[in-house]
Amino acid sequence: MTLVAVVSDYLLHPFYPQFFELRFGVKDPEMVGYYFAAICFMVMIAFPFWAYVSKKVSELNILVYTQFVAGILALYCFYTSSYITFWIVSLVMILFKGSYLLVYPYILKIITKEEHPKTIGLLSVVVHLGGILGAVIGGLIVDLIDPRNIFLIMAAGDFIQMAMSGYLLKSDKYATGLIVSDEVVNSEEKFIPKGFILKLGLITLILYFSDFLIRPFFSLYWESFSAYKTKFISGTVYAIPGFVALVTLWINNKRKTQDGYKGIINALCIALIGLFLQGIPSDAFVVIGRIVYGWAIFQGVVKFDILLFELSTPDSYALDYSKIHFFQNLGVLLASLSVGVVVEKYGLQIPFSIALGGFILTLVLYFFVFKSVRITHKELAKT
């Protein structure tokens, strides 16, 4: 379900400028930027809203109805020829589509804590693959067919999620109401930093801001100095962290022991090395930097999610994750709004310098806020 959702979600992401020009004759890049910002804003408010609703209604029941509505609105986006109507309807569609994010905390609620690291890593890779697959399919449709057909595929994805949710609810094979992760923990055994959601949210906001800052102009940066300037090569180099994430997941799954959230500091330090190497305009340094950075950012993002779910409780998974997701999307939104300005003023290398500073700030804040986090006396005894 997550793969289907992410693929349909990413179909248009890299191609909104081409889509608006081909479909509505709109060429103004500022309008595309405003639309991106509007999408980020809708996702930021959608997930917390559906997470709050999930306190009263089960996640799969919500998905049956929201994905049906999202599918109908996607079909309307396929038929409409009005630019203004498209804006309004597509953003309302995003509001309903955003409910698929409930699947993530729901999965973690119905498995044991010991399974969290592997599952979070797997879901992270699914998101990587879904993004790549969605971009490829979207590109083929924009190149070869009428781009509005993308919304037919989006609608199909929504209806598939609706059908799968209904099947899981009706089938006797699955105890969809079971909560496995629920466990009783003595408050004296568990130390939680005061206001940990806000603190973790602000730290990951800086992390996601820094990570997304280097993405939009990476292909142009590569083509500015490399002898290999084809779109295929620059796209392949851009996708290196995604492929590294796959290998990292495989290695993590082969290991007999899982470190949980431990190793965040190491991951951030290695990410700094990867960022520094990418900032050197050399083919070899950039490729090595992408590999190093791909490993580190995958480990860092996964371990931050593990830390969140260690400190949260199963009943609060969806709501707590939605709050963190809000901060992460805010980081992405700020990066999207600012990267064009800084690149135009200071050049294509500047995102790596700013990202380097952002990762250093993330590292320092994490060290001082969460350096004393401990989960249980039992875990301490092991170490």
Residue 7 lies in a domain: yes
In which domain, by residue range, is 115 found? 2-170
Is residue 36 a contact partner of residue 336, using CB atoms and an 8 Å limit?
yes
User: Rounded CA gap, 243 and 248, in Å?
Assistant: 9
Shared domain check, 220 and 77: no
350 Cβ contact partners less than 8 Å away, ≥ 6 residues apart: 342, 343
Shared domain check, 42 and 150: yes
The three-state (H, E, C) secondary structure of 138-179, written as one string: HHHHHHHCCHHHHHHHHHHHHHHHHHHHHHHHHCCCCCCCCC
Shared domain check, 201 and 155: no
Residue 177 lies in a domain: no
Which two three-digit tokens encode residue 12? Answer: 């248009």
Is residue 181 a contact partner of residue 113, using CB atoms and an 8 Å limit?
yes
User: Rounded CA gap, 172 and 360, in Å?
Assistant: 50
Q: What local confidence, expressed as pLDDT, does residue 89 receive?
A: 95
Shared domain check, 332 and 205: yes
Is residue 203 a contact partner of residue 365, using CB atoms and an 8 Å limit?
yes
Q: Number of folded domains in the chain? A: 2
Q: What local confidence, expressed as pLDDT, does residue 136 receive?
A: 75
Per-residue pLDDT tens digits of the chain, which is 383 residues long: 889 998 888 788 767 777 888 888 887 767 777 787 788 888 888 888 998 898 888 888 999 999 999 999 999 999 998 999 999 999 999 999 989 888 888 888 888 877 888 888 888 888 878 877 877 787 778 777 888 888 999 999 999 999 999 998 888 776 666 665 555 444 444 444 557 888 899 999 999 999 988 887 887 888 889 888 776 787 778 878 878 888 888 887 777 556 666 788 999 999 999 999 999 999 999 999 999 999 999 889 888 888 888 888 887 888 888 888 889 888 988 887 888 788 888 888 999 999 999 999 999 999 888 765 544 434 433 43
Last residue of a domain, one of 112, 135, 170: 170
Q: What local confidence, expressed as pLDDT, does residue 146 receive?
A: 81
How buried is residue 241: exposed, middle or buried, by Cβ count under 10 Å (0-12/13-18/19+)?
buried
111 Cβ contact partners less than 8 Å away, ≥ 6 residues apart: 119, 180, 181
**At 124, which amino acid appears?**
S
Which two three-digit tokens encode residue 197? Answer: 């959601």
Shared domain check, 370 and 330: yes
Which two three-digit tokens encode residue 30? Answer: 């500022």
Q: What local confidence, expressed as pLDDT, does residue 257 receive?
A: 56
